[in-house]
Structure 1
Amino acid sequence: MTSNTLTLTVSDYLADKDKKDLTVSASAASGLSSKTSSFTRDDNYVAPTVSFLWENANIYFVMTDRFYNGNTANDNSYGRVKVDATGKNIGTFHGGDLAGLTKKLNDGYFTDLGVNAIWVTAPYEQIHGWVGGGSNGDFAHYAYHGYYALDFTEVDANMGTKDELKTFIDTAHSKGVRVVFDIVLNHAGYNTLKDMAEFGFGKLNGITDTWTPGSGQTWHSHHGSIDYTDVASWSKWWSPTWVRSGVAGYTAGGGDDLTKTLDSLPDFITGSTSGVGLPEVLKTKKSQGKTSVTEIAGYAPKDYLVKWLTDWVRTYGVDGFRCDTAKHVELNVWKDLKDKGVAALRDWKAANPTKKLDDLDFWMTGEVWGHGADRSNYYDNGFNSIINFGYQSTVNNGVNSYSGMDSTYSGYAGMSYNPLSYISSHDTSLFYKGDDSKQKKVGTLMLLNPKAVQTFYGDEYGRTFGETGSDPFQGTRSDFSWTESTGSKNSTLVHWQKVGKFRNKHISIGAGSHSKISDAPYAFSRTYNQNGVVDKTVCVLGASGSTSITVSSTFADGTSVRDAYTGNVATVSGGSVTFTADSNGVILIEENK
């Protein structure tokens, strides 16, 4: 022993592939202390290299219901309809499901895009009925988007079954794709006529759960026939110890971000530490044999919610959460969710060593409305990432002139934290406005952006804004068109695939250092060199015809390099290399190995 350090050579004690326990004991004035560890000798062991970091994530945000229908048998679950009584499908379930996602994984769709993480809308059970859609109540609005939870412990039948969820996640992992759940800790779903009748809460006056708007009425008109003043009947809903709400017997929402009832949704009392029983609506659901949820002594609402959400991680290996309405929940609750998520994913990986992709910990990104690429205290309270609302505007600097993105690229590459940037969102707008050339250009800029990026389903081909009614955001959730993506807009998709696969292959794009080479064409290098992993790339945007690029700081003379966009190969000479650019003007240079 030297300087309190004991060095043992495993080969002195074990033959190749042998496994033994080693016990080390040390005595001191306080007594004898012992430690036992297991060792296996493997002379062929190769230290793993990092092929993925969340800084290089190429995340695909898919609104599952609007993507692909893999099982038509679940389309009308809980009596839901695809077309409402006024002939609209703006806010109905359209049929997309977990089976559809699995099919597209097996078809290679996500692999071809270079996607390494899929963010899915919350698959757990949502309210069964509808609410009035839009400010004018001009359509029936169902919870197809996953933001109106009913039961956090069951899979929503429109999404599929628990077996189909397991198959989806296992299939994703087998393709090198991580799965991120969209989750809500802030609020539950609205009361609907269907749920009131099915679970016996609230009080109706003169109407039934089959009500639809008549002449001169809207989808909001039914509220006039609901008695919101009857304390006894509303106590059978979520219960006053669970949520704030404007109904009788409940504490009304407050005036600050943490206590307001956002959009009049029942607000979970996540700040409470007092133990409560199950909410009455779930007790009723349990008595009907429709949930396996159990009461846990001493649990406050936040404890139940954290457990229910992280149980999906421990059971199925969910890799991360995108946390909705983050600024409306206490930071310590988010921190607890993260800590429990980390423990849950470690448990799953320990139990499923052949299914895990790596040993990375559970990951969380958050939606803090209006948050940009700046660092905030969310990063100190469980979040690895925060969604970057500012990027939709920032990216236009590069759309107007590729080199206009250099300060953004340089700044993001130097960040010690990980904003998640996007060009389209279900809550803001779609970037695509009919210009396919511009869509290719913005796709290039985003996919080559340092730190994590998010493609909103259909960005890759130019999905068009749909029917929206009096809600300006519904149109951002239009159906994915499999006809358009493989037909008239296929060139945009092919372009997106090439750049996306390049990003996924090269950790330097999202996690490396950035250095500008030239303004016109705009060229830059990215270099990653950490923990024994070295990755170097050079990207050229706005090139035309035969283009010579100075690459001396990245590739040595004599190095064989490849343009991943065209597949052409060349050799570095005199510190530069020459490629003929494709008509899209993009050259993506990697070492030809």
Structure 2
Amino acid sequence: MNGKGSMIVGATRALAGAALLASTAAAAAPAPAPAYRDRTPEQDLIYFVLPDRFENGDTGNDHGGIAGGRLEHGFDPAAKGFYHGGDLKGLTARLDYIAGLGATAIWLGPIYKNKPVQGGPGQESAGYHGYWITDFTQVDPHFGTAAELKTFVAAAHARGIKVYLDIITNHTADVIKYRECPKNDCAYRGLGDYPHSRRGGITGAPINDGFAGIDKPQQRFDNFEQLTRPDFAYTPYVPKNEVRVKVPAWLNDPIYYHNRGDSTFRGESSQLGDFSGLDDLFTENPRVVNGFIEIFGRWIDDFGIDGFRIDTARHVNSEFWQAFVPAMIERARARGIPNFHIFGEVFDPDPGMLARFTKVDRYPAVLDFAFQATVTDVIAKGGPTERLARLFQMDSLYEGGAAAAMRLPTFLGNHDMGRFAHFVRVANPQASEDEVLKRVVLGHAMLLFARGVPTIYYGDEQGFVGDGGDQDAREDMFPSRVASYNDNRLVGSAATTAMSNFDPKAPLYEAIAAMAALRRAEPALSRGEQIVRLSSDGPGLFAFSRRAPSGGGEILVVLNTSSASVAGNVPVDPATRAWQPLHGRCASAASAPGSYPVELAPLDFIVCKAASID
């Protein structure tokens, strides 16, 4: 390692584990952790992983048991859009690494059997990510077997780690074709021009798909019990070699799909159109609702899964969720899982829109895209810290108010939008590596100590940066053969993605692990009420308190988002007489009742605990 690299690592470790752990000497010893199923969602720290990109534990399943070349089985470890070989055996072998980071729940990217390869000539890519499902009832052979999933879940549970499955009900793989669009490029056809039902029977040619009922009288969609065959906006058909490819078998019938062409992601098409060509399910139909309740209920029954992250939640009608969500919670309770965590993906930075899905669709929680957008704006881009204060003011909008907001999974980046370190570098092209590292650490301090359920995207703890979103943010943890991954500079490390990256001494791993340990030791940092204490109209101080759920004093967290040192006074509970440090330099006493003096270095943070109160 060159001198500059050594300096970066040294500076980071001063920020990270050693300093943080050393400063906890005066803190109370952590209470014993409850049994893993007794933990409520806000007590957990989630680690989100795409199985294909984590660890290859069995090279024998790399082709998924499929003969032929890369366009048949989808395996090409040098291409970022194809399978690379990661699997369940690899994940199981690396559970201690995940546990060492402090994660107490693993959000597992979809592991169901996918269509191996999709896309037109020259545009093919593989279902390595798991979102192109054909069989909802079995593990994709690229990832392993049902027995290996059971082994993984049991091994995670033995370590007190929950397992959340990523599920999809909005669509399946792209199988259905439309006769009017031989190039598979059908524009969306709306309800105004092509209503669900018109008198006079079926338009277009009969569907030669082998299903009965095609020539029966047309019925309206408000009476699903009598429904036989709708007037489709397009004339769907299933290629002969894929007529029975979907499992369960009822999914092969085009009657259970909207068949309206590609969504524009505006207006009604957001729920009724095909998501980039993927077959959009007719989730208004009770057969579809009940079918998915049974499909995903079986995963709970058979594997003891602890929660679901639900993909593309905003693209499914509210009535579906109003039936599906309580059915899954009840199914989990019957299996002895009292704190089953369900959170939906609503890709929107507006807290009002996110809250709508907790009030109308009745989601217990949604991924907090508003948190992600605001922290990126404030810490990566240097926006005013008052935007964080405004974000938390919106917590009252969620069903259940601020208490419900504590169960929102918070995150800094993900597999779709890209990594937080990438956002930092793009926003600060002239910044030194030391500054980039400090901003990334500061972002994680906000993630670990503020309200919500912290969610770490795999690889962030090793300093992965990526080149953008989607495929460019899905690097391999095991030695990669993708050139566009391997030319990236990692944050705080001289390593590259061309080598194995499971280093517990990596600066960001140490920093996150130390913060996670502090969060576990202090219940206020996971379950405590949050109070914003101070913000500003530019970069600088942002302070908030977390109050212990059992009563007593507060823990004060203060961040400096400025590239200059900042001093000031933070409003606190006037009854607090003495303070002790949990991280950083904390004054031992208030300067006056209700006023606590702070002084922070550039891009630094402190965590201080009330030691005695009147």
TM value normalised by structure 2? 0.64
How far did residue 345 of structure 1 move?
1.3
Cα distance in structure 2, aligned partners of 1:533 and 1:174: 32
Cα distance in structure 2, aligned partners of 1:431 and 1:413: 23
What is the aligned partner in structure 2 of residue 17 from structure 1? none
Q: Kindly provide the amino acid, as one letter, of the partner of residue 263 in structure 1.
A: S
What is the aligned partner in structure 2 of residue 68 from structure 1? 55
What is the aligned partner in structure 1 of residue 101 from structure 2? 113
Cα distance in structure 2, aligned partners of 1:189 and 1:592: 57
Residue of structure 2 aligned with 1:372, choices 350, 365, 373: 350
How far did residue 98 of structure 1 move?
1.9
Moved more, 180-189 or 412-421: 412-421
Contact 2:541–2:566 at 8 Å: present in 1 too?
no
What is the aligned partner in structure 2 of residue 495 from structure 1? 511
Cα distance in structure 1, aligned partners of 2:103 and 2:75: 39
Contact 1:315–1:348 at 8 Å: present in 2 too?
no
What is the aligned partner in structure 1 of residue 257 from structure 2? 243
Tell me the SS of whatever aligns to 2:173: coil
Cα distance in structure 1, aligned partners of 2:271 and 2:78: 35
Does residue 587 of structure 1 match 2:606? yes
Does residue 183 of structure 1 match 2:180? no
More strand by share: 1
Does residue 104 of structure 1 match 2:59? no
What is the aligned partner in structure 2 of residue 79 from structure 1? 66
What is the aligned partner in structure 1 of residue 530 from structure 2? 513
What is the aligned partner in structure 2 of residue 381 from structure 1? 361
Residue of structure 1 aligned with 2:410, choices 418, 421, 424: 421
Cα distance in structure 1, aligned partners of 2:155 and 2:77: 37
- Which string of whole-angstrom CA distances, capped at 9 and with x for unpartnered residues, describes residues 561-583 of structure 1? 342x47x9996587799999899
Residue of structure 1 aligned with 2:477, choices 480, 493, 516: 480
Cα distance in structure 2, aligned partners of 1:585 and 1:450: 19
What is the aligned partner in structure 2 of residue 263 from structure 1? 276
Tell me the SS of whatever aligns to 1:76: coil
Cα distance in structure 2, aligned partners of 1:317 and 1:50: 11
Q: Kindly provide the amino acid, as one letter, of the partner of residue 470 in structure 2.
A: F
* Long gaps (5+) in structure 2: 1-33, 178-207, 210-234, 246-251, 262-266, 426-435, 480-494
Judged with a 3 Å threshold, the aligned counterparts in structure 2 of structure 1 residues 386 and 577 are, in CA distance, closer, same or farther, namely closer
Contact 1:58–1:504 at 8 Å: present in 2 too?
no
Tell me the SS of whatever aligns to 2:517: helix
Judged with a 3 Å threshold, the aligned counterparts in structure 2 of structure 1 residues 73 and 535 are, in CA distance, closer, same or farther, namely farther
Q: Kindly provide the amino acid, as one letter, of the partner of residue 243 in structure 1.
A: Y
Q: Kindly provide the amino acid, as one letter, of the partner of residue 157 in structure 1.
A: P
The CA RMSD measured in Å over matched residues stands at 4.3
What is the aligned partner in structure 2 of residue 432 from structure 1? 421
Cα distance in structure 2, aligned partners of 1:540 and 1:62: 30
Contact 1:77–1:158 at 8 Å: present in 2 too?
yes
Does residue 460 of structure 1 match 2:461? yes
Trace 1:183-202 onto structure 2 (pairs within 5 A). 183-191=167-175
Tell me the SS of whatever aligns to 1:267: coil
What is the aligned partner in structure 2 of residue 553 from structure 1? 573
Contact 1:152–1:308 at 8 Å: present in 2 too?
yes
Q: State the aligned residue count.
A: 461
More helix by share: 2
- Which string of whole-angstrom CA distances, capped at 9 and with x for unpartnered residues, describes residues 9-30 of structure 1? xxxxxxxxxxxxxxxxxxxxxx
How far did residue 501 of structure 1 move?
3.0
Q: Kindly provide the amino acid, as one letter, of the partner of residue 278 in structure 2.
A: L
Contact 1:545–1:581 at 8 Å: present in 2 too?
yes
Cα distance in structure 2, aligned partners of 1:316 and 1:497: 28
Tell me the SS of whatever aligns to 2:343: strand
- Which string of whole-angstrom CA distances, capped at 9 and with x for unpartnered residues, describes residues 42-77 of structure 1? xxxxx9999843345432221111112223332221
Cα distance in structure 1, aligned partners of 2:452 and 2:75: 46
Tell me the SS of whatever aligns to 1:122: coil
What is the aligned partner in structure 1 of residue 319 from structure 2? 332
Judged with a 3 Å threshold, the aligned counterparts in structure 2 of structure 1 residues 579 and 119 are, in CA distance, closer, same or farther, namely same
Judged with a 3 Å threshold, the aligned counterparts in structure 2 of structure 1 residues 69 and 82 are, in CA distance, closer, same or farther, namely farther
Contact 2:171–2:278 at 8 Å: present in 1 too?
yes
What is the aligned partner in structure 1 of residue 157 from structure 2? 173
Tell me the SS of whatever aligns to 2:99: helix
Trace 1:312-331 onto structure 2 (pairs within 5 A). 312-331=299-318
Judged with a 3 Å threshold, the aligned counterparts in structure 2 of structure 1 residues 52 and 508 are, in CA distance, closer, same or farther, namely farther
How far did residue 182 of structure 1 move?
0.8
How far did residue 147 of structure 1 move?
0.6
Does residue 525 of structure 1 match 2:545? yes
Cα distance in structure 2, aligned partners of 1:192 and 1:91: 22
Counting aligned pairs with the same residue, the percent is 23
How far did residue 307 of structure 1 move?
0.7
Q: Kindly provide the amino acid, as one letter, of the partner of residue 271 in structure 1.
A: E
Trace 1:441-452 onto structure 2 (pairs within 5 A). 441-452=442-453
Tell me the SS of whatever aligns to 1:79: coil
How far did residue 255 of structure 1 move?
6.0
Contact 1:447–1:503 at 8 Å: present in 2 too?
yes
Cα distance in structure 1, aligned partners of 2:50 and 2:136: 18
Contact 1:502–1:588 at 8 Å: present in 2 too?
no
Cα distance in structure 1, aligned partners of 2:36 and 2:135: 40
Judged with a 3 Å threshold, the aligned counterparts in structure 2 of structure 1 residues 230 and 113 are, in CA distance, closer, same or farther, namely closer
- Which string of whole-angstrom CA distances, capped at 9 and with x for unpartnered residues, describes residues 312-356 of structure 1? 11222212111111122222222222122112211221xxxxxx6
Cα distance in structure 2, aligned partners of 1:168 and 1:50: 17
Tell me the SS of whatever aligns to 2:106: strand
Q: Kindly provide the amino acid, as one letter, of the partner of residue 270 in structure 2.
A: D
Tell me the SS of whatever aligns to 1:428: coil
TM value normalised by structure 1? 0.66
Find the structure with the greater CA-based Rg.
Answer: 1
Cα distance in structure 2, aligned partners of 1:591 and 1:67: 41
Contact 1:463–1:481 at 8 Å: present in 2 too?
no
Cα distance in structure 1, aligned partners of 2:268 and 2:241: 27
Residue of structure 2 aligned with 1:272, choices 285, 306, 311: 285
Trace 1:121-140 onto structure 2 (pairs within 5 A). 121-127=109-115, 129-132=116-119, 138=122, 140=124
- Which string of whole-angstrom CA distances, capped at 9 and with x for unpartnered residues, describes residues 436-477 of structure 1? 3322222222223322332222222331326x8xxx621121
